[in-house]
Structure 1
């Protein structure tokens, strides 16, 4: 094979003005721009470095002497590869992300005694040199401008004589694994690998098909991948140097690649294609205005290293060629074909035939197969990269798991790792066994430990205590020193934060083998709900603390310190040894800080009450810059949550969850997998949910009901709920019409696996969102997860081939401030609330529950009016009473049953309660009304709003009379008194109430609620319009007012 430096020099002679790559530079005002680097520039830069190395380093002491290099991720990697090969050195690229132990291990195994570096890593390399035996020879190389813009362009040194042909077994350079086994392992990259890769276009493929590598030719390609990564080397050697038709566009090397930088690159350079990690793609789509559009403008988007979120992939695949690639340090890349249906099958891979690729089923893992590369017949090895690097082996077991497409044979989707490797969603990998063993063998307090995090941005730790514990926080304090010891053994991206520690429960022991070893995957399955909740809780938190932050290196607190002092503490605490000796003007990314540490700094500062977004850290990557940026916003930031109006808080929440991808809703529906209706019922085990489920089961139009609940014990809870309400003893586990799913709408794919989610989208015609926490004392922010879930339901509907209708169960509380905002006194005392939507944030009652319902409704309104979804319906449900059919008991813990029981104990009952007009709806009637409206509005366009309150009202005094009659018939009289007197008597008891009295008078537990009712006495009443609900629901049209017969039934069922 013609050697890489010979190829570059040939291009420089034959096409000196041809563009090899575009690199980022900064103008005098600091703005980024991209400069074309010609082949002649690259060739000259190589010769300048050859001369520099010859003068300061000397020639190799022996053939192929190892020469280590680490630096910021810029073009100097490419220059150094070519210069080293000209001089006879064998480059060793050691990642800037490695720990000191990782660097030293690589130096030892490769017998490397010389280390080149960029100035940003002076501290690291000096420390390595002091620990090496024999001592390292270290040399800082000049900045990039030294090679690209020499002071005397006319005096470029000539190239030395060098080998122009390399044999297949020649080592071009040495790279290393990510350290997922604890320490990184050196892996040679042989010349035969590159030679083989450059001939991929000759690889046999089926008729009318092409291999994936051909897509890179004749492209300009923006790459968010470093040269020390096998993906980056593939682009450099194969696509760039040897094909000479691909123009690489590099990102700035002074900080980790981010979504913001990639967006700027795409906008300014307008490349044909881009290659980056799923994490960057997801950030661009979800968080950056214009990010989705920029990606859609590409001719091709290549991702790899980790799975891409499915809903994002679905959005992109119809707009651009979305390509999934797979490779590894040892195997380089695995040859694949271009998929025939990239729009629908983008997340799958079709492996090229004839390359020895086998998918072997794995015992104990259903539908999972391991990718194994087996040496093919003699003469065909040229298609198998791994056997050039490891010629002594006959097969290579990748330990990567895949699952085959359900209907398209030969298409495979990545499904994780067979071994213990944890793969984060940014592509980083770690093997946690060493970490876990440090904990298990350190103090005797830890019986078992499991590090988790596959598919997430950061790791977490699950600990099984040896003995019973009473205080989890105290236990974590006792073992945290061991966690710190383990953290120091791992790269920064792999370290566990204190807020990411879970303590195992006595009733949920770790699953173990007969030999006592922890079975990782099965144990994670046992704790999957706790793990899911832990990741949800991390949004907006800094290591799980506020005001004071611990992270394994110290603590940070804002009390009594200036802003710069606090920032300095945070940076040093997060960076640990990397932060030692850095100055206030040092760019933290130039000393090895990565994206996870940037996030940790952001959260740490936020926890000290400094409002520091992640993008602020990226934009201001030094202590000085952060101090200026945060000081500038401090006066504005002092408008704390306490002084920000509730309307503003709602506006911010609505904005946060109204970032919809601009994709029109198609007119036509795809072929359904069911002939009847499919209904997704979110929240089925509560009172209203149970009656909804019963109604759907009885409805012949419905073929299948999917019940999505958080609890994995939902089937048991549902059966119990049915029995308690007199709905029958139903065997839900084997019911032909209903399927229970464990998940949450706030999670990606609702917490379901991709195949399950995909099937759900194809089956569902109607979504009923009924799951909502009922807590009138909680602030708006506590409802954020269900608000986020509403947005995900809109995403589900928008990208479903059935375009299902969303039916959102709201509350009349969401409009209970209507009178203050909209009521005109000239209209009379009664406040009429119409069946129309009002997005005014002053409308909901002044409580988090009401505000959250309003916010969710506004999100759906924006989704509908923006063409994102077709026909959502908002149903404002009023006070639900007990059922009028069957034997179901009205929940005794609710305010009205509690009032009745308390009144019996006091011997007094309020004659008025404020809003004395009773427009309650029996719960079974409300459920059927919701079903009526859902089917009536199905396929009808438009955003509609309904008031689900009784069209016919009764008066409170009528109910009081029935309650008095009931207890009179049972030998007890109740005296009607004013509400103030009744409340005063109850308060008198509350001061010294015993457990027995609280049992007899449950109203003691909700005194605050009853006090809130006093504000409604002698104020205008509310009248809810119901014409639209009556028009769309025969059940509602036939509903009578709450009457004595109903009241008597409920009293008998309570049996107070």
Structure 2
């Protein structure tokens, strides 16, 4: 008799490990349980368990007849001790056990049986006869032997010698949960099992909690293998089980675990710990609660494919710091952390033959397993990680942002009012959530009053979930769907929600919700109107709703879009305005017709909105663009003030350098990427500061992605010339540390200001931060100590000439003093600059949409919107008198760089449009021919857009993006799009402009090829 444990160095397979206990007569308790009364305690030693396994082996394979390696399926409800003895007995007998959940359907069970060619099934016919008989009857052609499991009293030993089994032979099969489809068969070799048994988490758990309550855990599950065999049999732990229901001569259904009887039996068995396997959303929330109550919580991470690779030993300092929920991985595993570009990493286990053989190898480039589990790294302790979700659960939104829903679902799922939560929003602009109410709080989601009350009830927990979400992943009240009682969330046998099946089940409801939100419908049905429709009361009401939508305090006098608003938030606010008007009296309801789609853009402050709504209710006449020129003049005056006064210098003038230092803003954009590539190649450039706004993804990754997308040379990004900066031009010192700003001031010789938000819906005031940022950059240049000064180049837009009188001939490359030429969209107005005092610092550059020789052209531009809309409308717009002067970004970029580095003083303004335009219909015909569609008159095409916009659903807007630019296209029909531009100065400055070839039909085909996914 001894307490000797076998070596876990793969010198023995699993069957030999069991024999080790017989040979050495290890009589230490492996299992412990009481009788039903709790008065008597029974213990099963490792020696007795191993002998019992031999008895089962003899019962299942007398005299070891038949072939080794036959798969025996186990679909049963029985005591853990009996279940795991049968599993061990199969291994001893040279068979391959396959524990299968009895919660699977007959179809799923047959799927698993046929996958591993199992023709023998052990069961408990008294409780599961109907299930296994269904498997047999539904698949009559499949040979299947169904047998009752052995009774406790039937087990006796067989001493026949066994054939030597390889460590890499399959010892048993387990299966996945089936959360993403049918459960998958996962073979476990002897090497897998031995490696898993030697993992630190299990070895140390046996020391930290030597008597562990595990009887409630499912024996068919991986956690059952770990808790019922690896912990007590391959290690020194004692597994505390429930009292046995079966007797020596009679089979009985075991006790169904509940929270109460798990705790009670843990007490009776003198357990020192309880092993839990939380499969729902609330494990982190409940862990925090238990930890706050003084419970020692030791989280582990694992899966059937790779075991339990984490540790459980933690130092007290980490626990005191609240880091109990973070994982540390043991030294037996080799992990490759695959970055996802958003601060998260996929965990990939690389095979280590000596210490960690994964059960499934699925990596394309090496042996190992990609888990699809996403982790984040501890901010100060780089060896600690926390799981945040699944790669296949990540919602990639329409704007490319990634939302990991699991942490938010965890918070919501922990609410007593909520039974389950599933977020949705893939390829959409906004996420939403499908909530399954706790049965005690079930509501009829078609009853508006009940729905509003339930949304209000759960809103505090939604706000709690929003606190851990990025701004673009916030959930609004309007985006909460509630399940129908007859359509619960679809779950796998272990209780986890099957996301894809659930969202498919509610596809119609989800699409209807987006139709309501993204179109002109009323999403604000539960919005209470303001106390009155006077401007003063409206300001308070609007401020409250805008603050809720933006999840921050909104200031009434500041532009909403400076305070975190975007197109979606503007849509939500507009819907709430419309909802409040419709819920009011007849006088107010009449104002609904005046709340246009771009209402919030047209009145971008709370004060402006309040006055506009009050005016619409009073029936005031609409004041169109009469004051637009005055607004432009005021903006020019505001940001031109002080140009005549020289800035004081507190440093010495520097002699001019032969090398140039360039500050380039907006380098990650389309044109910016091309300019950056040319600058990095140019021998006259000493340094390039690539200045961009901060983002969730590091600027270096964004820049690389921009280069890859445009087929530019990514090796240039490793250049020592390149320095990335992240800041905000509208802030003091450009949002940079003072010493960095000072370095820019002292070293920069050229500024190329290219960063500007392209949005034809915004008004001039919403672009004020960009205008302020331009003035800040000019002031930076004005303070330069360089004797020759700084050359400042500003990339303007042809939209700044949108109101040019075509009777005056081509738009000239010179200073324009009349602001009326820019009146139209806020975007063009914001790019109109004319103050003469700024002349020594810059050249104004007008540009048109960028193209690539590779065909790449941003899908967010207006030309791709025409093409996609035309495919849906079954015709492309024709304009026989129109011309197209689109130009490649290579040509634009080379001209900008030529101007920046020219030894001569460049012209004040140059027009970067194609010097050899082609007809509009030539390009449209070339595009249309690739999809075999005709041309239709531009006016008819715009009228079709107008007609479709009145009843457009979210799907319609996705297929016809031109609806969102309807006003822009109306202006084009009115003649605003046919302005001719002079290019003589541009051709003088740049050889690239002089030698440009006209656009060809082949160019159009390349664009269509690049857009193929966008157009699908």
TM exceeding 0.5: no
In our comparison, the structure showing a higher alpha carbon Rg is 2
